[in-house]
Amino acid sequence: MEITPIGRVRSCFGEKFAVPRQPGLCPSAWGELHFDPEFRSPEAVRGLEGFSHVWLIFHFHQTSDRGWSPTVRPPRLGGNQRVGVFASRSTFRPNGMGLSLVRLESIDFEREDGPVLMLGGVDLVDGTPIFDVKPYLPYAEAPEEATGGYAEEAPERLELEGEALLDALPERDRRAIGEVLSIDPRPAGARDEPGREHGVLICGVNVRFQVLEGVCRIIGIDAGGLRD
């Protein structure tokens, strides 16, 4: 079987580091789905504007070449316990495919490469290939009796300091950066080094930060910079 991407997502996340581990955790995170020419048809999205959310089936293109493992260490368990890959949202999967539920904010038909899907709450790195789009059906896909296993609760959020350093950025970018930092984007292995400086490329800037005693402190931003 051959599978062909239908387009790619342009998003506020310039690199894999600090991309939210689940969609919706950072509601202000933005993205755009640009269809490849052969799928760039207004007819292909007819009726989609009536849905608030869509499922995106995508390719973990930055990690799929590293293969997969039957067990993984989920960050939600501190990276210290193993579970089966099929009991996780790990990127290291047999076919390197992911599923993400994102908000459909609008459809831009006026772009030269339109229609373009304008998305919110994304958890996809810039350039992610998309295999398919499907509308979200609340009556069928939000069961009241659902349980979340070892990830039953949403992650706790850190207190933020130094947000004034973001004042020159657009409002939505400021919100997105704050939401990302509040869920502690550090990998599990780095959380044993309190006070260490990190950097994340998001919304076109390199945001430098450190976490200490439950507080994420923004210590600087560099336009167009790259993470160390």
Sequential pLDDT tens for the chain (228 residues):
889 999 999 999 999 888 988 899 999 999 999 999 999 999 999 999 999 999 999 999 888 778 888 998 887 787 778 999 999 888 888 999 999 999 999 999 999 999 999 999 999 999 999 999 999 999 999 888 889 998 888 888 999 999 999 999 999 999 999 999 999 988 777 777 888 899 999 999 999 999 999 899 999 998 754 333
The CATH code of the domain that includes 14 is 2.40.30.70
- Boundary residue ending a domain (109, 141, 173): 141
The number of distinct structural domains making up the chain is 2
Asked if residue 188 belongs to a domain, the reply is yes
User: Whole-model pTM?
Assistant: 0.88
Bridge pairing between strands 215-223 and 205-212: antiparallel
Are 17 and 94 in a shared domain?
Answer: yes
Asked if residue 154 belongs to a domain, the reply is no
Would you say the C-alpha torsion 49, 179, 176, 56 has a positive or negative sign? negative
Are 25 and 94 in a shared domain?
Answer: yes
For 199, the domain range is 159-223
**How confident is the model at residue 97, as a pLDDT?**
93
Asked if residue 228 belongs to a domain, the reply is no
Q: Cα–Cα distance between 177 and 186 in angstroms, integer? A: 14
DSSP state of 58: E
Are 14 and 120 in a shared domain?
Answer: yes
Are 211 and 100 in a shared domain?
Answer: no
Are 136 and 61 in a shared domain?
Answer: yes
